[in-house]
Structure 1
Amino acid sequence: MSSHATANSFHALKRLLRYARGYRRRIIAATVCSIINKLFDIAPEILIGVAIDVVVNQERSFVARAGFESAQEQIFVLAVLTFFIWAGESIFEYLYQILWRNLAQRLQADMRQDTYEHAQRLDMAFFESRSSGQLVATMNDDVNQLERFLDGGANALIQVGVTVVAVGAVFFVISPLIALLAFTPIPLIIWGAFFFQRKAGPLYADVREKVGDLASRLSNNLAGIATIKSFTSETREADRLREVSEAYVTANRRAIRVSSAFIPVIRMAILAGFLATFTVGGMMALRGDLNVGAYGVLVFLTQRLLWPLTGLAEVIDLFERAMASTRRILDLLAVPITVRDNHDRSLAKPVRGEVSFEAVSFRYVSSGVGVDGISLHVPAGHTLALVGATGSGKSTLIKLLLRFYDPSAGNVCIDGQPIGEVSLRSLRQSIGLVSQDVYLFEGSVRDNIAYGRPEASDAEVVEAARTAEAWEFIQALPEGLGTAVGERGVRLSGGQRQRLSLARALLKDPPILVLDEATSAVDNETEAAIQRSLRKIGHGRTVIMIAHRLSTIVHADEIVVIEAGQVAERGTHHSLLAADGRYAAQWRVQTGAVEEPPVLT
C-alpha cells in the first residue's frame, strides 16, 4: 500500500505538470531564480573559509594567487565579494518569491475557474450523485492547498536539491574522504523522506475526504436551518457536526503523528555526518593534510548541507497535502461530459415552439426508473398538461427537453429539429422553466427577475412583474425592485418567490414555457394569480405543465396521464372525465364530487 501511495503522489504531480503546460515559462523562470538564490546563499560559508585562509596564510593564501598580495587587499576583496553576494541573494530571493507567489495565485485562480466551468457542463446525474459540500471543498479548499505548496514548498524542494549538488561538488573538490563521510547520512535522510512520504500519502488523502464531509455537513445544516429549528434538533445536529469534525481532527492527528516523527530521526543522521566532518577534518588539519581555511569551509558547509534537509519534513507534508488535493481537483476535471454541446448549429429562427417526443426512452442509473417509448406531439402555441403519480416520469420528460440528460432511445425535437443536433444555448434560451423548487440568487428583486436578460430595461422588468402579478407586492417592499431577497430568497414568502420565478421566465420571453409543479406549494390566492398570468401569457406560446392539482390544467389543449414511464391516458379534460379512467378517478378524489366544474376560460 505504501508504494502504491508513492506512485499516486508522483502520478498526481505528473498530471499537474501536464495541466500547467501553459505556465511553463513562469515555472522555469521561478526555478532559475530559486537556484541562483541558493547558490548565492551557499557562497558566504565559502568566503568565511577563504577569510580564515587569508588570516592564517596571508601572502600564501588562496586569494594571493589571484594577484592580491597584501592581507589587507585580500580582506578588502572579500568584503566587496561579500557585498555583491548578499545583494545577489537578496535580489533573487525577491524575484523567486514574486514569481512563485504570482504563479501560485494565477494557477489556483485558473484551476478553480476551469473546475467550476467544467462542472457546469456536466449532466445533472453528476450533481445528483455528489454533495454540494464535497464540490465546494474541492473547488475551494483543495485548490487553496495546492496554492500553499506552490507558494513555498516548491521553492524549498528545489533549493534542497541545489544545496546537495552544489555543496557536494565543493566537498569532493576539497576532500573526497570528508565528502564521503559527510554524505553518508544523506541516503538515510532521502530514504526516510520517502518512507514518511509513503506513510503520510494515504493519511492526507483521508484528511481531504474528511474536509469534504465537514464542508458538506455545514452546507446542508445551514441550508436547512429552518427545518432544524422547527424540529428543535439543534443539539442533535450540533452532535452530528461534532462527530464529523472529530473525524477530521482524528485524520489530521494520524497524519501529523507520522510527519512529526521525521525530524527527530533526521536530526540524528545529520549529527553523525557533522561529527564525521568535524572530527576527521580537524585531525587532517592538525596533521597538515588539510588547509585550515578549507577545514572551516567544510565545517560550515556541512551544516549548510545537512540542516536544510530537516525542512524535508515540512516540504513533504505540504507536498502530500497538495498532491491529495491535486488528485481530487484533476479527477473532477476528468469527469466526462456526456451531454455534448453542438456549438455550430442553432435552432432555426424564429422558434415556433412545436415540441415532439418520438419514442423516447430513458432510465436513471441509480434508481432504474424513467420513461419507456413515449411519443407526444405539442403543436406550437398549444398547452400540454402532464399528470401522474410521483416518479411516473413527468419531470424526466422535462429534463430530456432541456437536455439535462440525453435519451437512450428516440428523439426530442423542437420545430422538427432534434435537440441533440443544436447548441445547448439556443435550446435553453428558447425554453422558460418555472419549477416547484424556486431558486433565487442572493441579490435584489430586479437582479433575479432579469437573471435571464441582465440587459433588460427597468420598464421591461416591471412589465414582466405585472404580467406575473408580482408587481403589487414588489411595490410594497422596502426598496421595491432594489430590495435584497437574501440567500435563496429567504426574505420572501413561498408565493412571492414563485411569482418572481414566473416573472423571470416571462422576461426571457421564450417560445416554450415549462411549468413543473409551479403552483403545488402556493396558497389559493397565489395559485389564482398564477392562473390569471398563464391565461395572459399562454397565447402564441407553447406551454407544458406538470401538475398534481388538476384544477390548474382543465384548460389545457391536451392532458396526458403518465404511469410507470408510459402514456396511460390522453385527451382533453372533458374526454378524460367521460372515459372514467385514472384521470377521472383522481378528479373525484380532489374535488369530492362526480360533477365536473366549468372549464376555466
Structure 2
Amino acid sequence: MPNSEPSTQRSSLQTLRGLLPFLRPYRRQFIYAGIALLIAASATLAIPAAFRQMIDLGFGSSGDRQIHDVNLTFLALFGVATILGIATAARFYMVSWLGERVTADIRNAVYSHVVTQSPQFFETTQTGEVLSRLTTDTTLIQTVVGTSISMALRNLLLMSGGLIMLFVTSVKLSILIIVMLAMVVLPIILFGRRVRQLSRDSQDKIADASAIAGEILNAMPTVQAYTHEQIEARRFSGFVENAFGTAMRRIRARSLLTMMAILLVFGAIVFVLWLGANAVMDGRMSGGQLGQFILYASIVAGALGALSEVMGDAQRAAGATERLLELLAAHSPIQNPAHPAMLPARSSQSAGGARLSLEAVSFSYPSRPGTLSVADLTLEVAAGQTVAIVGASGAGKTSLFQLLLRFYDPQSGVIRLDGVPIRDLHLHDLRQAIGIVPQDTVIFSANAMENIRYGKPEATDAEVMQAARLAAAHEFIERLPEGYASFLGERGVRLSGGQRQRIAIARALLKNPPLLLLDEATSALDAESERLVQGALEVAMQGRTTLIIAHRLATVQRADRIIVMEHGKIVETGNHATLVEQNGVYARLAALQFNLDTQEQPTTP
C-alpha cells in the first residue's frame, strides 16, 4: 500500500474532508437533518427558560394566580417536549439514512475501484486487508456520518446557545465558568493526535489479522495435510493479541481524556454554582435565575463532554478514512487510451481467428525489476494458426499470456492484435477478443450453469449446455444432484480437479473468442477426460488463433508450430519432428517426458 506516514500529520478534519465527494449528492437530506437539528436544539435551550418562569412566577405568586402560572408553565413545557421529540426523531431518521447511504456508496466506490486494479496491485496488497477496509473501516465511517456529525453539530449548537444564555443570565458567573472550561481544551488537543494514531494502528492490526485468516482458510486442505492447525491457530492468536494490545493503548488514552474532561468540567461547574448559591443568599440573584444558570451550565458541560466523545470517534474515523482513501487513490498502471482504436470488424467471431504479432517485447515484473521474464521477444502468429509454447518453469510462458491480456505492459516493444497495438485498444475490447483457460482454475460460489455463463453473461441455457458438451462437461454436470442448477461450493470444492478444468474450458468456449489462450488446459485431467477434452479443443480451435502452454506432447504435437522458450527468449521453433531432430532444448524435454511416460506405464506380471 502507499506510504501513509505523511498523512498522519494531517488533522482529523482535513482527512475527513475526503468524504465530501460522497456527501455532496445528498445535500437536500443534510438540509432536512439540519432543520430538524435546529428545531430540536432550540427546544432544548427553551427548557431552562421555562423552568425559570416556573420558579420565579409560579412559586413567587400566590393563590389562583400561582396555580394559573404553574399550569401555563407546564403546558408550555409539554409543548416544548412534543416539538423536541418530533424534531429529534426526524433528525435521527435522516442522519441514520445518510450514514447507511454514504457507507454503501463508499463500499461500492472502493470495491469498484479495486476490481479495476492490475495484478501489480495485488502483488503487494493482501485481499484480507482490502476486505477489512471494506467492512470494519466503512463501519467506522458509518458511525461518524450517521451519528457523530449529527451529535457534533447538535452539541455545538447547544454549547453555543447555552453560552449565550449563560451570559444573559449572569455575565460574572459566565466569565468564570468559561475560563475554567477552557482548560478542558488542552488535554483534548494533547491526546487527540495520540488517539488518532493509535486508532489507525488498531485498524491496521485488525486488517493484518483478517488477511492471515483469509489466507489460511483458503488453504485449509494444505494446512491440515501438514497438521499445522495448532501452529496456524497460534500464529493467528499472535496477530489478534497484537491488535488487542494496540486497541487497549487506544482505549487507555481515550479513558484518560474522558476522565480529565469530566473532572475539569464538573469541577468548574461545582465551583461556579457555589458562587451562585452565595449570590442568591445575598439577594443579588433570584432562585429562578440560579436554576436557569444551573440548567444552561449543565447543557454546556454535557455538550462539551459529548464533543470530546465525538472527537474520539472522529479520530478513529479519520484513520479509517485515510485507509479507504489510500485504496481510492491507488491508480492502476494499466489504463484505457484516451481515444481507443477499434479492432477490424468480423463477419463472425471465429471467422479466420485473430492475427497476433510481438515485436522486440521485453518485460520484467514490477516486484522483480532486475529480472527479465520476457527478453526481446519477436513472434508472428497468423490468423487461425495454433502455436504451442513449451519450456521449463520460469521460461516466461505465463508472462507472455499476461502481456497479451494486458495485465501488465512491457517495458519495450509492441504487441499487435489484427495489426492494432493492444495499448491503443479499450481493455474491454481487447479482453473480449481473448478467451483463456488458466492453469489455476477459478470456480465461483454459484451453480454450474452460472459458472459456465460467466464467459458470456447473455448466453441462453442452450448455449451454455452446448459449450459444456464441447468441453466434455455435460455428462458429469447432468449427474450432479440438481444438474446444471447444482451449487458447486466455494472455489468448486464439490468437484474434482478435472471437472473444474472442464467447467473452465466450457466457459472459454462459450465466449467464442477469435484468440484462445490455453495455459495447461488439460493438466488436471485423467487420460479418459483428456482424450474427450482434447477432441473438443481441436473442434474449438478450428478457424481460431490458439496459443497453448503445454508440457504434454499429445497437445504439442498437434500444433501448427512449436516455439521453445528459455529465460524469456525464443530459442527454438518448428514442428515436433524437426525440433526432435535438432537435438536441442525441446528434444531434451521430449526425452524426459518419454522416459516419465514409460515409467508410468503399468508392467505386465
TM-score, structure 1 normalization: 0.93
Q: Determine if the alignment matches structure 1 residue 270 to structure 2 residue 270.
A: no
Q: Determine if the alignment matches structure 1 residue 570 to structure 2 residue 566.
A: no
Q: Which moved further from structure 2: 304-313 or 37-46?
A: 304-313
Residue equivalent to 1:142: 137
Residue equivalent to 1:347: 343
Q: What displacement does 1:445 show?
A: 0.6
- The residue correspondences of 1:232-271 to structure 2 (distance < 5 A) are 232-271=227-266
For the residue of structure 2 that corresponds to 1:25, the secondary structure is helix
Report if aligned partners of 1:2, 1:198 keep a CA contact under 8 Å in 2: no
For the residue of structure 1 that corresponds to 2:357, the secondary structure is strand
Report if aligned partners of 2:58, 2:69 keep a CA contact under 8 Å in 1: no
- The residue correspondences of 1:182-581 to structure 2 (distance < 5 A) are 182-342=177-337, 345-350=341-346, 352-368=353-369, 369=371, 370-581=373-584
CA distance in 1 between counterparts of 2:180 and 2:597 reads 94
CA distance in 2 between counterparts of 1:3 and 1:392 reads 41
Q: Give the residue type in structure 2 aligned to 1:500.
A: I
Q: What displacement does 1:49 show?
A: 1.5
Q: Give the residue type in structure 1 aligned to 2:471.
A: A
For the residue of structure 2 that corresponds to 1:592, the secondary structure is helix
For the residue of structure 2 that corresponds to 1:121, the secondary structure is coil
Q: Give the residue type in structure 2 aligned to 1:460.
A: E
Report if aligned partners of 1:181, 1:276 keep a CA contact under 8 Å in 2: no
CA distance in 2 between counterparts of 1:462 and 1:199 reads 61
Q: What displacement does 1:337 show?
A: 2.6
Count of aligned positions: 586
CA distance in 2 between counterparts of 1:373 and 1:186 reads 73
Q: What displacement does 1:4 show?
A: 7.8
- The residue correspondences of 1:84-163 to structure 2 (distance < 5 A) are 84-163=79-158
Q: What displacement does 1:11 show?
A: 2.5
Q: What displacement does 1:320 show?
A: 1.8
Q: Deviations over 1:132-169 (max 9, x none)?
A: 10011111221112112222222221122112210110
For the residue of structure 1 that corresponds to 2:106, the secondary structure is helix
Taking a change above 3 Å as real, the CA distance of residues 484 and 105 of structure 1, as seen in their structure-2 partners, is same
The alignment yields a C-alpha RMSD, in angstroms, of: 2.2
Report if aligned partners of 2:341, 2:420 keep a CA contact under 8 Å in 1: no
CA distance in 2 between counterparts of 1:392 and 1:3 reads 41
Q: What displacement does 1:313 show?
A: 4.3
Q: Which moved further from structure 2: 193-202 or 461-470?
A: 193-202
Q: Give the residue type in structure 2 aligned to 1:422.
A: L
For the residue of structure 1 that corresponds to 2:57, the secondary structure is helix
Q: What displacement does 1:593 show?
A: 9.7
Q: Deviations over 1:218-270 (max 9, x none)?
A: 11111111111111111111111111111111111111111111222122212
Report if aligned partners of 1:6, 1:201 keep a CA contact under 8 Å in 2: no
CA distance in 2 between counterparts of 1:29 and 1:594 reads 76
Q: Give the residue type in structure 2 aligned to 1:447.
A: E
Report if aligned partners of 2:396, 2:568 keep a CA contact under 8 Å in 1: yes
Q: Which moved further from structure 2: 520-529 or 401-410?
A: 520-529
Q: Give the residue type in structure 1 aligned to 2:429.
A: S
CA distance in 2 between counterparts of 1:8 and 1:573 reads 67
CA distance in 1 between counterparts of 2:524 and 2:344 reads 36
Q: Give the residue type in structure 1 aligned to 2:284.
A: D
Report if aligned partners of 1:277, 1:298 keep a CA contact under 8 Å in 2: no
For the residue of structure 2 that corresponds to 1:285, the secondary structure is helix
Q: Which moved further from structure 2: 430-439 or 69-78?
A: 69-78
Q: Which moved further from structure 2: 79-88 or 460-469?
A: 79-88
CA distance in 1 between counterparts of 2:466 and 2:482 reads 18
For the residue of structure 1 that corresponds to 2:547, the secondary structure is strand
CA distance in 1 between counterparts of 2:526 and 2:204 reads 43
Report if aligned partners of 1:208, 1:325 keep a CA contact under 8 Å in 2: yes
CA distance in 1 between counterparts of 2:105 and 2:5 reads 32
Which of these residues, 171, 174, 177, is aligned with residue 179 of structure 1? Answer: 174
CA distance in 2 between counterparts of 1:359 and 1:24 reads 55
Report if aligned partners of 1:38, 1:159 keep a CA contact under 8 Å in 2: yes
CA distance in 2 between counterparts of 1:353 and 1:229 reads 46
Q: Give the residue type in structure 2 aligned to 1:583.
A: Y
Q: Which moved further from structure 2: 425-434 or 542-551?
A: 542-551
Report if aligned partners of 2:169, 2:292 keep a CA contact under 8 Å in 1: no
Residue equivalent to 1:31: 34
Residue equivalent to 2:162: 167
Report if aligned partners of 1:259, 1:313 keep a CA contact under 8 Å in 2: no
For the residue of structure 2 that corresponds to 1:325, the secondary structure is helix
Taking a change above 3 Å as real, the CA distance of residues 493 and 507 of structure 1, as seen in their structure-2 partners, is same
CA distance in 1 between counterparts of 2:466 and 2:422 reads 31
Q: Give the residue type in structure 2 aligned to 1:91.
A: I
**Gapped runs of 5+ residues in structure 2?**
599-605
Q: Deviations over 1:257-306 (max 9, x none)?
A: 11111222122212222123311112222222223211110012212211
Report if aligned partners of 1:206, 1:251 keep a CA contact under 8 Å in 2: yes
Which of these residues, 566, 578, 585, is aligned with residue 588 of structure 2? Answer: 585
Q: What displacement does 1:19 show?
A: 4.4
Q: Deviations over 1:17-60 (max 9, x none)?
A: 2443323333343234223312212321221122111135439x
Q: What displacement does 1:344 show?
A: 5.1
Q: Which moved further from structure 2: 524-533 or 40-49?
A: 524-533
- The residue correspondences of 1:57-96 to structure 2 (distance < 5 A) are 57-58=60-61, 70-96=65-91
Q: What displacement does 1:472 show?
A: 1.7
Q: Deviations over 1:527-576 (max 9, x none)?
A: 22222221111110111111233332111111111222222111222221
CA distance in 2 between counterparts of 1:517 and 1:144 reads 43
For the residue of structure 2 that corresponds to 1:184, the secondary structure is helix
Q: Deviations over 1:306-345 (max 9, x none)?
A: 1333334432332122111111111100011321124754
Report if aligned partners of 2:22, 2:106 keep a CA contact under 8 Å in 1: no
For the residue of structure 1 that corresponds to 2:524, the secondary structure is coil
- Give the percent of matched residue pairs that are identical in Structure 1 and Structure 2: 33
Report if aligned partners of 2:156, 2:303 keep a CA contact under 8 Å in 1: no
Q: Give the residue type in structure 2 aligned to 1:398.
A: F
Q: What displacement does 1:505 show?
A: 0.6
Taking a change above 3 Å as real, the CA distance of residues 7 and 31 of structure 1, as seen in their structure-2 partners, is farther
